[in-house]
Chain A
Amino acid sequence: MEKRPILRGFTLIEVMIFIAIIAIIFAGTFQSLIAYRWIAKENMHSEALRQMLTWKKLAADLPMESLSPCIVTISADGKAKLPQKNIVENSITLYDPASGAVLADSSSVRVDSGSGEIKVTNGKLSGKKAVAKFSFLLPTTGETAVLPASEPCRMSLINAPASKIEKVELVEGSKFEEIPPYKYKAEPDGRTIGFDKSLAGKTVRVIYYGGLVKTVCTGDFLDSDLNITGKPTGKKIVRIMESYNTGNDMETGLMRVK
C-alpha cells in the first residue's frame, strides 16, 4: 500500500499576515481615491459657485416684476404669459392674490417652456388674475475665448454639453456685437462650437444653457414677518440654485424690497 503524503494548511499567523498586508495596500489606495474624488467634486463646485454668486449679483438689478413670483392675467381662453422663458417643467403654481390659496398646481397648467406661455386647464380661472410661482433656467453669464487663427475654428465649453445656445457675441474691448447664427454651429455632442473662418483669431463670447450644471431661479413673496406667502407683497425672496441632477444642489438667495 502506498503511503499518503501529509497535508498541511496555513497557520493562523500566516493568514493574518497576508490579510494585514492586503489591508494596508488597499487602505492607501482607497485614501488616494477618496482624495481624488473630493478634488474633482470641488473643481466642479467652484465653477458652479461662481455662476451662482454672479447671478445673485445680477438678479439684484433685474426688474422685480420679471422674477418669480409675479402677477399674471389669465385670458378668456385660459392663456397667460410669464415674464421669463425656459420655464422648468412642473414648477408652476397659481395662487389667489387675495387669499394666497392655491388655485392650480402644475398638473392643471401646461407650460410652453421656450416662450413662457402657460395654458390653464381649469376654465373657472379664465379672465382672473393670479400669482404665478415658477422656476426658470438662467444661462451662463458668458464664456469668452480667442478663436484659433487657423482652422478648425472651434471653442470648447466648460458647462458642456450645452442644451441651448442663447447668444454668441463678438468682443472688442468693452463692446459686444451679436454674431448671426449662420456663422456658428454647436457640434452634435454639445461640447464645442464651430465658427465661420471669417471669425478666426477674434474674441467671442458665448451665452448658453449648460447641461452639466443647471442654474435655476425661483422665488416667493414674503409677508411683514418674512414668512412665505401666496399673496403679493412688496418683499420677495429670490433663490438661485445650481442643480447637478444628483441631489447635491447649492442654493443662495437675496431679498428684494419694492
Chain B
Amino acid sequence: MMRKAKKQSGFTMIELIIVMVITALVLGGIISYAGNVYRQYRMTADQTSMKADAANIRVLMQSAADEGGKAVLHNDNKGVTFTGKKGTDIFFLRDGAVYLRHNNTSERKLTGFEVSEAVWTQDKGVLSMDVTFSYNNIQTKKTDYQKVIKDVYLSK
C-alpha cells in the first residue's frame, strides 16, 4: 500500500529576509552594547591596576616608616628617602616610572603603567604621594590620565 506524501511548506523569501534583518538588528545592537561595556570594563580594569600599583608603593613606604625610617623629601618633591635601621629606601620618579632603590645596591620598578607625574609632600605627620598615570583610553582613543593619592602615616 502506498502512503500519501505529507505536504511540506518552506519559508518564503520575504519571511527569510525579515528574519535576517531582525536578527541582524538585534545582534548589531547587542554587539555594539557589549563592545561598549567591554571597553569601559577594560578601561576601569586598567585604572584599578594603576591604583593597585600606587597602593603597593604606599604599603612599602608605610613599612619603611613603621620600621623607624625617617622620611626626607627630595628638594624637587619627586622622591622621598627613608633612612632607618635596615638601611636606606629611596622612592623616586624616573623615566615615567616610580622606582625603589634599597641601600644604593638594588633597584626595582614599582609601576606598570607610565607615570607622567609623581609628587611627594609631607604635612602634619602625613606623607602624601600624588601619582598621575597616563594610559591609552580605548573609549576616546586618546591619552588619558588617572591620578591616585596615597597617604603614609609617619611615626612621631
Task: Tell me whether A174 and B73 are in contact (CB under 8 A).
Answer: yes
Task: Tell me whether A171 and B48 are in contact (CB under 8 A).
Answer: no
Binds B, one of A43-51, A81-89, A218-226: A43-51
- Residues of B contacting A36 in the complex (Cβ-Cβ under 8 angstroms): 37, 40-41, 44
Interface residues of A in 25-51 (CB under 8 A from B): 25-26, 28-29, 32-33, 35-36, 39-40, 42-43, 46-47, 50
Nearest A residue to B43, CB-CB: A36
Expressed in whole angstroms, the minimum distance between the Cβ of A6 and any Cβ of chain B is 5
- Residues of B contacting A146 in the complex (Cβ-Cβ under 8 angstroms): 77, 117, 119
* Number of interface residues, chain A, beta carbon within 8 A: 38
Expressed in whole angstroms, the minimum distance between the Cβ of A42 and any Cβ of chain B is 7
Expressed in whole angstroms, the minimum distance between the Cβ of A30 and any Cβ of chain B is 9
CB within 8 Å: A-B pair count: 94
Task: Tell me whether A39 and B117 are in contact (CB under 8 A).
Answer: no
Expressed in whole angstroms, the minimum distance between the Cβ of B26 and any Cβ of chain A is 7
Task: Tell me whether B150 and A50 are in contact (CB under 8 A).
Answer: yes
- Residues of A contacting B145 in the complex (Cβ-Cβ under 8 angstroms): 156
- Residues of A contacting B149 in the complex (Cβ-Cβ under 8 angstroms): 47, 50, 143, 158
Interface size bracket, B side = 35 or more
Query: With the chains together, A28 CA to B30 CA distance in Å?
Result: 11
Task: Tell me whether A144 and B34 are in contact (CB under 8 A).
Answer: no
Nearest B residue to A26, CB-CB: B30
Task: Tell me whether A171 and B77 are in contact (CB under 8 A).
Answer: yes
Nearest A residue to B26, CB-CB: A22
- Residues of A contacting B34 in the complex (Cβ-Cβ under 8 angstroms): 25, 28-29, 32
Query: With the chains together, A39 CA to B40 CA distance in Å?
Result: 10
Query: With the chains together, A106 CA to B147 CA distance in Å?
Result: 39
Instruction: Tell yes or no: B45 within 8 A of A by CB.
Output: yes
Instruction: Tell yes or no: B126 within 8 A of A by CB.
Output: yes
Instruction: Tell yes or no: B113 within 8 A of A by CB.
Output: no
Query: With the chains together, A119 CA to B123 CA distance in Å?
Result: 36
Query: With the chains together, A43 CA to B76 CA distance in Å?
Result: 29
Query: With the chains together, A171 CA to B76 CA distance in Å?
Result: 9
- Residues of B contacting A143 in the complex (Cβ-Cβ under 8 angstroms): 130, 147, 149
Instruction: Tell yes or no: B122 within 8 A of A by CB.
Output: yes
Expressed in whole angstroms, the minimum distance between the Cβ of A31 and any Cβ of chain B is 10
Task: Tell me whether A173 and B128 are in contact (CB under 8 A).
Answer: no
Query: With the chains together, A53 CA to B147 CA distance in Å?
Result: 19
Query: With the chains together, A39 CA to B49 CA distance in Å?
Result: 11
Task: Tell me whether B51 and A43 are in contact (CB under 8 A).
Answer: yes
Expressed in whole angstroms, the minimum distance between the Cβ of B80 and any Cβ of chain A is 10
- Residues of B contacting A57 in the complex (Cβ-Cβ under 8 angstroms): 125-126, 153
Q: List 20 A-B contacts (CB under 8 A).
A: A8-B9, A28-B34, A29-B33, A32-B37, A32-B38, A39-B44, A39-B48, A42-B48, A43-B47, A46-B55, A50-B149, A57-B125, A141-B128, A142-B123, A142-B128, A143-B130, A146-B77, A156-B145, A174-B122, A203-B119
Shortest beta-carbon contacts, A-B, top 5? A39-B44, A36-B41, A144-B130, A144-B119, A54-B151
| Given A26-B30, A144-B130, 17 additional A-B pairs, CB 8 A | A39-B48, A42-B48, A47-B148, A47-B149, A57-B125, A57-B126, A61-B125, A141-B126, A142-B128, A143-B130, A144-B128, A145-B132, A146-B77, A171-B119, A171-B121, A172-B77, A173-B75
